[in-house]
Amino acid sequence: MKIRKTIPALTSKKLFQEADNHCSFCSVNDVAALEIHHLDEDPGNNQLGNLIVACANCHAKITHGEISPADVHTKKLQLTWMSQAAKRPTPKRPRQSVEVKDSTLNNSIVANKVTFTGKRSQRMNYPADSVGADTIKKGYIDYLIGRYFDYKKADASYGSYRPFNHAEIHTTIARLFKAKTFYIHVARFAELCGYIMSRVDQTIQGKRNTSRGWPNYDSYTKYQAEQLGQHPPPASPGTM
């Protein structure tokens, strides 16, 4: 039996600031229509990281699973990250707004147009026949690893508070495959995908989704078709 506790005024103030007084999943900004959702569905857990602002409509979608827990956690992470970024003192250089949302764009063309002023060059030459040399295969590996990171972060809200090491999966891949992630031979692409997928599936969030029949990631076929603009990307609930 979970006991509902009143959300402290300071917590809800911070939460509405974080959400910029908008629903986190749509454009509703009528403060009277906004509600607060508990990510772990425990109405007694009023930690800031467990709460997200949603309009009544989107809140119902979360409750009915139309907006998945993974979507909710990803959105919460984005909001947290953005509000932290906003608080950071004077950035050294303007943030680069490189958003490749249009999946019909050809990745390689986009990559060539982008010039980064950061220390590290985004452009890397991977050997021919490596996974990294194939734009779409590399993109899919990036996508899977991104899913893994998102799910590990989501796991934190289920009580897994162990510090998360982003390099670990690459180190483990290097040990298992005897090559760095994007230098692995393209012949082992499916094997590499399978390994990263198994890591996603083993997260708490991954197991929860599986038990509810929700996929943890798109298939390579679907990803590839989207990258090549062969069909429109599916409408995702709570479009960002």
Candidates 18, 19, 25, 226; binder of Zn ion (CB under 5 A) is 25
Nearer to Zn ion, 23 or 192 (CB): 23
Is 28 an interacting residue with respect to Zn ion (CB under 5 A)?
A: yes
Site for Zn ion in 118-137 (CB under 5 A): none
Backbone conformation region of residue 237, classed left if phi is above 0, alpha if psi is from -120 to 50, else beta: beta
Q: Which of 34, 52, 55, 197 binds Zn ion (CB under 5 A)?
A: 55
Report which secondary-structure segment, H or E, holds 14: helix 9-18
What's the full length of the chain, in residues?
A: 240
Looking at beta carbons only, is 36 or 55 nearer to Zn ion? 55
Task: Pick from 58, 131, 141, 184 the residue near Zn ion by CB under 5 A.
Answer: 58
- Residue 33 contacts Zn ion per CB under 5 A: no
3-state secondary structure 148-191: HHHHHHHHHCCCCCCCCCCCHHHHHHHHHHCCCHHHCEHHHHHH
Q: How far is the CB of 33 from Zn ion (least distance, A)?
A: 8
When binding is defined by CB under 5 A, the residue of 11, 14, 26, 237 that contacts Zn ion is 26
85 Cβ contact partners less than 8 Å away, ≥ 6 residues apart: 95
Rule CB under 5 A: say whether 56 interacts with Zn ion.
Answer: no
Phi, psi dihedrals of residue 53, rounded to the nearest 5°: -80, 135
Which of 208, 54, 239, 80 lies closest to 63 in space, CA to CA? Answer: 54
193 near Zn ion, judged by CB under 5 A: no
Binding site for Zn ion (CB under 5 A): 23, 25-26, 28, 55, 58
